[in-house]
Amino acid sequence: MNKKTEQHFSWEYAEENEAFRNAVATMEKNGTRKWVYAKKPAGKYTNYRTILSVILLALLVILPLITLPNGNPIFKFDVFNTQFVLFGYPFFTTDFFLLAFGMIICVVFVILFTTVYGRIFCGWFCPQTIFLEFVFRKIEYLIEGDRNKQMRLDKQEWNEEKIIKRGSKWFIYYLISFFVVNILMAYIVGMDFLKSMYRDSPSEHIGKFIGMFIFSWLFFFVFAWFREQACTLVCPYGRLQGVLIDKHTMQVSYDYKRGEGRSKFRKNEDRKALGKGDCIDCGQCVAVCPTGIDIRNGSQLECVNCTACMDACDEVMEKINLPKGLIRYASEDNIKEGKPFQVSIRMVVFSVILLAMVAGLGAFVMNRSDVEAKFLQIPGSDYKEEGSLIVNTLQYSLMNKTNQSHQLKAIVLSHPKSKVELVSDRHQMIYIEAGELKQGFVKVKIPRSELSSYKELIHIQLVDENNRTIDTYKISFMAPFDIGND
Ligand code: SF4
Ligand code: SF4
């Protein structure tokens, strides 16, 4: 195609095909909902997604059942008691900076990831897509049949067949919704507490049961009726696509250069010689689309990159002996330049940045001490002298971030002949419960001969009953002015 023809084609193509932007694919002209009867997809990408979905769903169910050797679950989001566990590490409100850091990383991650890989998350990892396509729609296909049978059933009277099919489908949908809400509850209160809720009298946990009941119906509503509207109308991530995706972004794309002008398939016809494109206008890509759009109109906000149209079109191409990939993962530039998708330098650089950010957050979390210690000078206080010892009274604040109690002892690491004495505790060990915030006073006594300055930086170390270092804190130790100024 020469440049003039190409310009003419693009302009004409755009004018003819932009009309779809004036309407919502899932809305009739009179404003009522146009139900999407998505055809059952099949093919290479659907198989990969099925495997991934089975793994993710299995993890969702299994993870709350696992208790780690440190006694923690892998994840816990107990909003009722503000107890949070991520990858086995407990987090408290004092970890606010980690949460803030984690959220910043998440935002940057989402922006960079989407700019490079488009909506891969929506198609492959999003819980909404996984539940809808690999749980609820599978049951629908099983009970009501594929697209055409569903359409027929929808149109027919509420006879015995329709009541049984719809009734059994909705009943199973509700059972699954209730089961999923129980699983989600296990992530909030923990599996042991969830079991106790069923053992105890319901009146003891009535608030939680009411919440579960409401959420189970909400879940049911989303998957039985609301469906793709959650992605196209509600999901904020979907709305962001317009600003995050550019012409280099990898996404499910229709190769309009190869596919247009589309025309119906005729046997023994030389389409190339007749100037016809490879798209045979069979509509299979539209029929399988769970959001009801036509990918041939170009990238659209409604596309969740589920790959169903890629599989459908590949199957058609195979049947008519044309190369697969008329709809494929490609960037706008790849399609325009007629190049296959390639890993670009930008992808590599952004991916390295993403991995570095995740590793950074992981390192932060792993290096977090079990008990966070703070030792502070008491405002207005001064040093004291006890014979050859210089004494500072410090206020301590300890936060036990584990679910185990500890017995701790403080030592001054930098001054071996020093002593640390607890004020008002003759045991000289600090006992701190799991998750407890403990405050008190200590006297730090350092021989004058060990000090080299009137304001010396000392390292106070906390060790547990097994002599394991728990945390170290640096603080200025006050001493007479003549030390270091002789
Ligand atoms: S499935 Fe492929 S050939 Fe059929 S209409 Fe879609 S793009 Fe064209
Ligand atoms: S256009 Fe294709 S990839 Fe996008 S939602 Fe529809 S079927 Fe999925």
Secondary structure (H, E, C), 153-219: HHHCCCCHHHHHHHHHHHHHHHHHHHHHHHHHHHHHHCHHHHHHHHHCCHHHHHHHHHHHHHHHHHH
Residues with pLDDT less than 50, the chain: 1-11, 14
Give the model's pLDDT for residue 184.
96
Tokens at residue 154, please? 């929808």
The C-alpha atoms of residue 325 and residue 226 are separated, in whole angstroms, by 32
Nearest-CA residue for atom 1 of ligand 1: 313
The C-alpha atoms of residue 242 and residue 115 are separated, in whole angstroms, by 10
Q: What is the 3-state secondary structure (H, E, C) of 104-148?
A: HHHHHHHHHHHHHHCCHHHHHHCHHHHHHHHHHHHHHHHHHCCHH
- Cite the beta strand spans of 289-351 per DSSP E: 327-330
Q: Is residue 291 in contact with ligand 2, taking CB distance under 6 Å?
A: yes
Give the model's pLDDT for residue 20.
61
From ligand 1's centre to the CA of 291, what distance in Å?
Answer: 16
Q: What angle do CA 421, 423, 425 make, to 5 degrees?
A: 90
Pocket test for ligand 1, best of 278, 316, 321 (most atoms within 8 A of CB): 316
From ligand 1's centre to the CA of 279, what distance in Å?
Answer: 5
Domains and CATH numbers, the chain: 1-368 (no CATH), 371-478 (2.60.40.1890)
Inter-residue contact 308 to 289 (CB < 8 Å): yes
Give the model's pLDDT for residue 486.
59
Give the model's pLDDT for residue 485.
67
pLDDT, tens digit, for every residue of 76-92? 998 888 778 888 888 87
Q: Is residue 306 in contact with ligand 2, taking CB distance under 6 Å?
A: yes
Give the model's pLDDT for residue 2.
43
Tokens at residue 227, please? 């469906």
Q: Is residue 295 in contact with ligand 2, taking CB distance under 6 Å?
A: yes
Q: What angle do CA 151, 156, 161 make, to 5 degrees?
A: 100
Nearest ligand to the CA atom of 129: 2
Place of tokens 């701190």: 432
Strand order in the sheet with 455-464: 430-432, 406-412, 455-464, 469-478
107, 109, 113, 119 alpha-carbon torsion, rounded to 10°: -50
Task: Indicate the average pLDDT of the chain.
Answer: 88
Q: Is residue 194 in contact with ligand 2, taking CB distance under 6 Å?
A: no
From ligand 2's centre to the CA of 291, what distance in Å?
Answer: 7
Quote the pTM value: 0.81
Q: Is residue 231 in contact with ligand 2, taking CB distance under 6 Å?
A: no
Kind of pairing, strands 327-330 and 251-254? antiparallel
Nearest-CA residue for atom 7 of ligand 2: 289
Atom of ligand 2 nearest to the CA of 305: 3
Nearest-CA residue for atom 4 of ligand 1: 282
From ligand 1's centre to the CA of 153, what distance in Å?
Answer: 27
Q: Is residue 285 in contact with ligand 1, taking CB distance under 6 Å?
A: yes
Q: Is residue 303 in contact with ligand 2, taking CB distance under 6 Å?
A: yes
Q: Is residue 308 in contact with ligand 2, taking CB distance under 6 Å?
A: yes
Inter-residue contact 300 to 24 (CB < 8 Å): no
Q: Is residue 411 in contact with ligand 2, taking CB distance under 6 Å?
A: no
The C-alpha atoms of residue 308 and residue 38 are separated, in whole angstroms, by 10
Atom of ligand 2 nearest to the CA of 312: 7
Q: Is residue 312 in contact with ligand 2, taking CB distance under 6 Å?
A: no
Q: End-to-end alpha-carbon separation of the chain, Å?
A: 90
The C-alpha atoms of residue 64 and residue 167 are separated, in whole angstroms, by 31
Nearest ligand to the CA atom of 276: 1
